[in-house]
Structure 1
Amino acid sequence: MNADAKEFQIPSNLNASTPPEKRGASRDRVRLMVMDRTTGKTIHGQFTDLASYLKPGDLLVMNNSRTIPSVLRGKQGTCNVEIRLSRQLSDRQWDALVLNGLCKIGEMLILENGITATIIGNGSERPLVRLLFSKGGVELFNMIFQFGEPIRYEYIDTTWPLETYQTVYATIPGSVEMASAGRAFSWRLINHLKKKGVQTTFLQLHAGLSYYGDDHWPTPSKHPEQFHISEQTTEIVNRTRKDGGRVIAVGTTVVRALESASDHKGQVTPQDRLTDLYIKEGYPLKVVDGLLTGFHEPEASHLHLLTAFIKKDYLLKSYHEALGHEYLWHEFGDMNLILPMENE
């Protein structure tokens, strides 16, 4: 995608730096661009009209992982350091990005409440390192939630509270970044969809860092993420497919989890494990029919995943159209629905 996407650049005025609620609207008052997977045709509308593009019996699968305040401040000797947690490995070990510090094995970082973190090795890929905290369990998480901050990338110039980085249905803490495709949902809209016969269910995939800084993005195959799919959710997904309904993932994290948990026939089973599945152009989707997501940078692996749903040419054409219509990018921005719509 990178070579084809050089012409695709996001003007700074289209980087959504402010949540809709702070722009005088509700969180579901964002725009929606709908793409037909088959023809590439686009429709421009509002997210509150989502039900008009779905049918009774369709299933929305949502990621209810809750965002933690994963940016910690500390000291390394006399130097201030910033730690961005990426993935929990055990009660006391995390993969993390350490900024402004010396990333050598044995180096100790001093945090709040008397807690320290020692660099004990390399993380799953560079520039991540493996940290061993001096405390675990409730003590460590209390420190994280008391002193940590949500990750804020350079296009956001205001400090927003942690609740700004949650979906309304987030319940299971673990993601270091918000599962942002679901942010635009309000309970009012979810209830409206249910009244129209659209089903909903949940899984958890704890999202790791999506960006390391300095134009460095994670390598998907070296970026495992923990996911959990319950027996109840697998039953709903499998029944929907059997009954001819469409399974629509709310976010790329949901696609990754569902496809990781399915066999070659698309039958999903309950699972609780890591996945390093990399979905890109040519990947044969077995479970998921449609995708609701935000708009992604050309370098991001999330954008590569979209080419498993729609031809690259159609995708790039639609993204240029979105730029022309001034859709907003990133977690506080507008939404994109990719669905098979032909002959409906």
Structure 2
Amino acid sequence: MDPNLKLSSYDYFLPQELIAQNPVIPRDSSRLLVVKPEEGIDHKIFSSLPDLLLPGDLLVLNNTRVIPARLYGKKSTGAMVEVLLVEEKYPLCWLALVKPGKRFSMGAEIVFEDEATGAYLKATVVDKDEATGGRIVEFTVGNRVSFWDVLDKLGNIPFPPYVTQSEALPSQYQTIYAQKQGAIAAPTAGLHFTEDVFNRLAEKQVAIAHITLHVGIGTFRPVEVEDILNHEMHQEWIEVNQETIDKIKETKSRGGRVISVGTTVVRALEGTFAHHNALMPYRGKTNLFIYPGYEFKVIDGLITNFHLPKSSLLMLVGALIGRERLLSIYQRAIEEKYRFYSFGDAMFIAPKR
């Protein structure tokens, strides 16, 4: 079998102490590993990013906003329950992961309340989701009360499962340009950006565009089949509007470079192209699986964090620079003690042109 199609070919050993538990302050003081187009790497600080880009380049960012999706409540029996909201099916109805899940049959009720603020929610289990093992829950809120306002009072921002000893504030797991509510995980490549970086990008005449991809639970789900062609990619909701499409076309028409800020932007842009087989706006779901051998249609470069072993995100980055080179760079990053994963350092894969 082609090694690029074997799950075991995307494994590497990461010392536990290199899993970042807290973000650096300020955000743009994180390290930036620069992957040169042909060979070699450089070690920079993220605040130097504007110096690495060219006038006329276009950065595309994901403006999704992480919601306080983790809730703690009680069953009618008094038993404590943890609920993670995964995806809004329609207003007040959500796919959720419930702990302990096996005890939740149809009609089971969970109450969430905060006596200090008077915030109150009730959820009723109305269905089961076979694909995730989760439950479909329908919320009841009081009259003249917004669900989102109550969720802000009762919910907690869900940090990734490998962040176990963090002192980070919820705002530190949110990009400074986050706008559209719906994600349960941050588009972490964007966490490094500051107003100062954006101001210097503007001075350099680097353009900015946005897409929306609401990061879901699938981001943390490992690939579990050795032949990755048998992997069933999770779906994520995306929106790429006409303004962003126009900016991409304009950039490409004058020889500029389109640089994706994060793997979520890659999936959104390439998924949009795959849906139409052309650069056109799209609003819907994508389950595009990108791995070595994929020919990129939209993006030229990528800013990203370091990803988990055997993950679809690692395969996506391997598609851009080659699996063997990627793993060699990861090994070097480990030797240089880069900080990994969501609160960790960044990598800039410079375009080939």
Contact 2:223 2:231 in 1 (8 A): no
Is structure 2 residue 313 aligned with structure 1 residue 307?
no
> Alpha-carbon deviation of 1:250?
0.4
Residue 28 of structure 2 aligns to a residue whose secondary structure is coil
> Alpha-carbon deviation of 1:226?
1.5
Which ranges in structure 2 are unaligned for 5 or more consecutive residues? 1-5, 114-118
Partners of 1:191 and 1:266 lie apart in 2 by 35
Partners of 1:125 and 1:258 lie apart in 2 by 26
Deviations 1:102-161 (A, max 9, x none): 354413222234422233333372233322223499632122111111112343313533
Match of 1:277 in 2: 288
Residue 183 of structure 1 aligns to a residue whose secondary structure is helix
Partners of 1:265 and 1:216 lie apart in 2 by 27
Partners of 2:201 and 2:341 lie apart in 1 by 24
Match of 1:115 in 2: 121
Partners of 1:147 and 1:212 lie apart in 2 by 24
Pair 258,90 (structure 1): closer, same or farther in 2 beyond 3 Å: same
Match of 2:3 in 1: none
Contact 1:35 1:43 in 2 (8 A): yes
Pair 326,124 (structure 1): closer, same or farther in 2 beyond 3 Å: farther
Residue 125 of structure 2 aligns to a residue whose secondary structure is strand
Partners of 1:183 and 1:150 lie apart in 2 by 15
Partners of 1:92 and 1:189 lie apart in 2 by 38
Match of 2:140 in 1: 134
Is structure 2 residue 20 aligned with structure 1 residue 16?
yes
- Report the more deviating stretch, 293-302 or 126-135: 126-135
Is structure 2 residue 249 aligned with structure 1 residue 241?
no
Contact 1:220 1:276 in 2 (8 A): no
Pair 222,273 (structure 1): closer, same or farther in 2 beyond 3 Å: same
Contact 1:221 1:277 in 2 (8 A): no
Q: TM-score, normalised by structure 1?
A: 0.89
Q: TM-score, normalised by structure 2?
A: 0.87
Alignment of 1:146-165 (within 5 A): 146-152=153-159, 153-165=161-173
- Report the more deviating stretch, 196-205 or 311-320: 196-205
Match of 2:9 in 1: 4
Pair 322,99 (structure 1): closer, same or farther in 2 beyond 3 Å: same
> Alpha-carbon deviation of 1:248?
0.7
Amino acid across the alignment from 2:194: S
Match of 2:44 in 1: 45
Alignment of 1:177-192 (within 5 A): 177-192=185-200
Contact 2:271 2:288 in 1 (8 A): yes
Partners of 2:196 and 2:190 lie apart in 1 by 14
Match of 1:196 among 188, 191, 204: 204
> Alpha-carbon deviation of 1:292?
0.5
Partners of 2:275 and 2:127 lie apart in 1 by 37
Contact 1:40 1:315 in 2 (8 A): no
Which ranges in structure 1 are unaligned for 5 or more consecutive residues? none
Contact 1:296 1:303 in 2 (8 A): yes
Contact 1:60 1:249 in 2 (8 A): yes
